A and B are shown apart, each in its own frame.
Chain A
Amino acid sequence: MSSDVLARREAVRSDRTARYERMVEIRTLEDAVRGLFAEGLVHGTTHTCQGQEAVAVGVASALRPTDTVCCTYRGHGHAMALGMTPLQVCGEIMGRVVGSIGGVGGSMHLCDTSIGLLPTFAIVGAGVPVAAGAALTAQVRGTDDVAVSLFGDGAANIGAFHEGINLAAIWKLPAIFICENNQYGEYSPIATTTPIANIADRAGSYGIPGEVVDGQDVDAVNAAVEAAAARARAGDGPSLLEMKTYRYAGHSRSDTAPYRPEGEFDEWYERDPIATFGARLVAEGLLAESDVDAIAARISGEVDAAIDEVKAAASPGVASMFENILA
């Protein structure tokens, strides 16, 4: 499993066409989750990331597998961008033994340390100081690894955000704090919870660089994270990046997002990160027009096959609940 995951990671690091394919894969699996719920095959809830694929793939493409990533419960896309397979992710969503931690975590709890992914955080903001701590390890041991905290716009108003970034700033830790501003904190529009337009502006109060990035452009995300990572690896401290993006789905499975103003979705969908990037690759001659449909069809088949494999897999046995409580 691990070599497969690392190869998938290397693909998005080195190849822009692979980045496009990974974004398609993420969208395909996220769209399929809805159907799995309808079939009664998913217990609990999920938080999907359609519309935010460029952030996931752009970030993963700019990091090394030895870098640490602290990600949120909206993590299916990030996990796959980092290299996790649809089988591992869907297996966990459906609570089967083929999931990334054997099906005992569920949609919000993915982990694969071979690609640097610590257990994903289902508590808003909790991963921010934890990333600072992972960056401390790199600093104390003298490696040039970095640690990344991915969090939503909602997390920018919780104490952990302030305490974690402040600590990283005063200790000049090799960390990158990436706010995925998808415009909504749960059901609330960002403007109702946050008195400034750009969360990146808060970087100034920590004396670190802050940058607003077009989160719908995978190339822009990649470039911004590459630059912040280079800065961190050089010992110049943390950065705060704000990826402006949009959540196509509601907050969680049960949320149909009725609070969205009319036309907002369409406006963002016109700049769909996958369609935009696909057109760019065609314009650059890296993809043929016909490749776009062929890729979609191939990946759809692969994701369907993974889902079938998950459906055929066992649920974890009773003994699993007693395992790994203590190290």
Chain B
Amino acid sequence: MARMRMNQAIAAAIADEMRENPDVVVFGEDVAVAEGPFKTSDGLLAEFGPLRVRDTPIAEMGFMGAAVGAAATGLRPVTEIMFVEFLGVALDQLVTEAAKFSYLSGGVVKVPMVMRASVGAGLGFGCQHSQVMESWMVGAPGLKIVMISGPHNAYGLTRAAIRDDNPVAVLEPRILYAVRGDVTTGPEGIIPLGQAATPVSGDDITLVGCGSTVRTALGAAGDAEGWTADVIDLQTLQPWDTEAVLDSVRRTGRLAVVEECPYSGGWGADIVSTVVAEAFGDLSAPPIRITAPDVHVPFGKELEQRYLPNPEYVAGQVGELLATGESPPHWWERDGALV
């Protein structure tokens, strides 16, 4: 166990995998000499040298394609997309090439690559550097998607992603890079992909979060009066841990999914639809989604904070659900919200 920031946990995970496996290589924009704009590759160039740790041109399509080719021929590249929005110009390589190579080779070609990307709002970066955009990837068979929620699972999920034989997208909430926490390092710290965690248990509702919203859900549950919650951190968004969510909802009878992204097309819709289909008879209230509105991430500090679901808002929505048994309106749908 070690105390470290989330960015340090990520760098430690990559370093441990590089020590164990000479096929692991790292490349991306400013990841080598500068050690990553978010310091997530601290010390890697110094320890592993320029053959295995490389700066690339600002050319995401090029280096993402190179990751595909390197992975398909035996390396295990870890690439960094500095802001997930930059994935837009490289998406073909991830969802149309990497994710399909196994299928298009009769299972012969494996593409064990990791695409790490910083995601999310809260740092005042404006609407082109504040999205999560997991919806670009959810629904692309052949791809796994991981969202880390703090230093405690950054190490273990990153190591598991590098070890996985499939292309894995690891989404890292930018706002959490500097957060400190206790991290279990070494082989025992590796967290299997596809498994959710339940950091807090309760009786009245299941709160499902992923990435930054785990902290939001924990905050809501921690301050709650009159109710307790199971808080589930999905950790892997694709494939997500259906059993963990269903088992919890069957016990609590209620579900709220907390998402950072706009309501439309969000990952929570998959969670809710599966719960409705599989556990309808166990529900005592309609499942709800607590999300951002269908707008761009605003720039100003107050507006950005208003945009993001926060613990008070989550607690309020849950309280209303418990009190009325009906879906509460979103904040932006309420009278006077937009003045």
Binding site for B on A (CB under 8 A): 68, 70, 100-102, 104-105, 109, 111, 113, 118-119, 121, 123, 126, 128-141, 147, 159-160, 162-164, 166-167, 170-171, 323-327
Name the B residues within 8 Å of A140 (CB-CB): 23, 25, 51-52, 70, 75
Name the A residues within 8 Å of B103 (CB-CB): 104, 323-325
For the complex, what is the distance from the CA of A70 to the CA of B105, rounded to whole Å? 13
Chain A to chain B: the 9 pairs with minimum beta-carbon distance, closest first: A133-B69, A129-B65, A163-B62, A133-B66, A119-B104, A130-B69, A324-B107, A327-B165, A133-B70
In the complex, the answer to whether A113 meets B97 with C-beta atoms within 8 Å is no
- Contacts A130-B66, A137-B73, A327-B166 known; 10 new A-B pairs at CB < 8 A: A113-B108, A119-B109, A121-B97, A123-B92, A133-B67, A141-B74, A162-B59, A163-B57, A164-B65, A171-B54
Q: Report the minimum CB–CB distance from B314 to chain A (whole Å).
A: 33
- Closest B residue to A100 by beta carbon equals B106
- Give the residue among A102, A119, A131 with the most B Cβ atoms within 10 A: A119
Known A-B contacts A137-B70, A140-B75; A166 and B65 likewise in contact (beta carbons under 8 Å): no
Q: Which of B25, B69, B93, B106 is in CB contact (< 8 Å) with A134?
A: B69
Name the A residues within 8 Å of B67 (CB-CB): 133
In the complex, the answer to whether B69 meets A68 with C-beta atoms within 8 Å is yes
How many contacting A-B pairs (Cβ < 8 A)? 149
Name the B residues within 8 Å of A111 (CB-CB): 104-106, 108-109
Q: Could you jot down 10 A-B contacts, CB within 8 Å?
A: A129-B63, A130-B68, A130-B72, A133-B66, A133-B68, A136-B70, A137-B74, A147-B69, A166-B57, A327-B165
In the complex, the answer to whether A128 meets B100 with C-beta atoms within 8 Å is no
Name the B residues within 8 Å of A130 (CB-CB): 65-66, 68-69, 72, 93, 97
**B71 sits at the interface (CB 8 A):** yes
For the complex, what is the distance from the CA of A111 to the CA of B23, rounded to whole Å? 24
For the complex, what is the distance from the CA of A70 to the CA of B68, rounded to whole Å? 11
- Closest B residue to A114 by beta carbon equals B108
Q: Report the minimum CB–CB distance from B108 to chain A (whole Å).
A: 5
**B142 sits at the interface (CB 8 A):** yes
In the complex, the answer to whether B93 meets A126 with C-beta atoms within 8 Å is yes
For the complex, what is the distance from the CA of A324 to the CA of B107, rounded to whole Å? 5
In the complex, the answer to whether B89 meets A159 with C-beta atoms within 8 Å is yes
- Closest B residue to A101 by beta carbon equals B106
- Closest B residue to A117 by beta carbon equals B105
Name the A residues within 8 Å of B110 (CB-CB): 327
For the complex, what is the distance from the CA of A54 to the CA of B277, rounded to whole Å? 58
For the complex, what is the distance from the CA of A123 to the CA of B93, rounded to whole Å? 10
For the complex, what is the distance from the CA of A208 to the CA of B242, rounded to whole Å? 52
In the complex, the answer to whether A133 meets B71 with C-beta atoms within 8 Å is yes
**B117 sits at the interface (CB 8 A):** no
- Closest A residue to B66 by beta carbon equals A133
For the complex, what is the distance from the CA of A163 to the CA of B86, rounded to whole Å? 14
Q: Report the minimum CB–CB distance from A126 to chain B (whole Å).
A: 6
In the complex, the answer to whether A70 meets B100 with C-beta atoms within 8 Å is no
Known A-B contacts A140-B25, A167-B62, A327-B166; A133 and B107 likewise in contact (beta carbons under 8 Å): no
As a 0/1 sequence over residues 154 to 172 of chain B, the CB contacts with chain A under 8 angstroms (1 = contact) are 0000000000011000000
**B141 sits at the interface (CB 8 A):** yes
Known A-B contacts A113-B105, A119-B105, A170-B57; A160 and B75 likewise in contact (beta carbons under 8 Å): no
In the complex, the answer to whether B72 meets A118 with C-beta atoms within 8 Å is yes
For the complex, what is the distance from the CA of A170 to the CA of B50, rounded to whole Å? 13
In the complex, the answer to whether A129 meets B62 with C-beta atoms within 8 Å is yes
**Which B residues between 54 and 98 are near A, CB-CB below 8 angstroms?**
54, 56-57, 59, 61-75, 77, 89, 92-93, 96-97
Q: Which of A105, A126, A137 is in CB contact (< 8 Å) with B96?
A: A126
In the complex, the answer to whether A129 meets B69 with C-beta atoms within 8 Å is yes
Q: Report the minimum CB–CB distance from B149 to chain A (whole Å).
A: 24
- Closest A residue to B110 by beta carbon equals A327
In the complex, the answer to whether B65 meets A102 with C-beta atoms within 8 Å is no
For the complex, what is the distance from the CA of A119 to the CA of B54, rounded to whole Å? 27
In the complex, the answer to whether A136 meets B69 with C-beta atoms within 8 Å is yes
Q: Report the minimum CB–CB distance from B277 to chain A (whole Å).
A: 20
For the complex, what is the distance from the CA of A324 to the CA of B65, rounded to whole Å? 21
**B177 sits at the interface (CB 8 A):** no
Q: Which of B65, B70, B101 is in CB contact (< 8 Å) with A128?
A: B65
Known A-B contacts A111-B106, A126-B93, A129-B61; A167 and B56 likewise in contact (beta carbons under 8 Å): yes
In the complex, the answer to whether B107 meets A323 with C-beta atoms within 8 Å is yes
Known A-B contacts A167-B56, A170-B57; A327 and B102 likewise in contact (beta carbons under 8 Å): yes
Q: Which of B51, B65, B141 is in CB contact (< 8 Å) with A325?
A: B141
For the complex, what is the distance from the CA of A134 to the CA of B71, rounded to whole Å? 8
For the complex, what is the distance from the CA of A134 to the CA of B68, rounded to whole Å? 8
Name the A residues within 8 Å of B107 (CB-CB): 323-324, 327
In the complex, the answer to whether B66 meets A129 with C-beta atoms within 8 Å is yes
Q: Report the minimum CB–CB distance from A292 to chain B (whole Å).
A: 37
For the complex, what is the distance from the CA of A162 to the CA of B89, rounded to whole Å? 13
Known A-B contacts A111-B104, A126-B93, A131-B69; A159 and B109 likewise in contact (beta carbons under 8 Å): no
Name the A residues within 8 Å of B63 (CB-CB): 129, 163, 167
**Which B residues between 88 and 135 are near A, CB-CB below 8 angstroms?**
89, 92-93, 96-97, 100-112
Q: Report the minimum CB–CB distance from B127 to chain A (whole Å).
A: 24
Name the A residues within 8 Å of B112 (CB-CB): 327
**Which B residues between 25 and 54 are near A, CB-CB below 8 angstroms?**
25, 51-52, 54
As a 0/1 sequence over residues 205 to 236 of chain B, the CB contacts with chain A under 8 angstroms (1 = contact) are 00000000000000000000000000000000
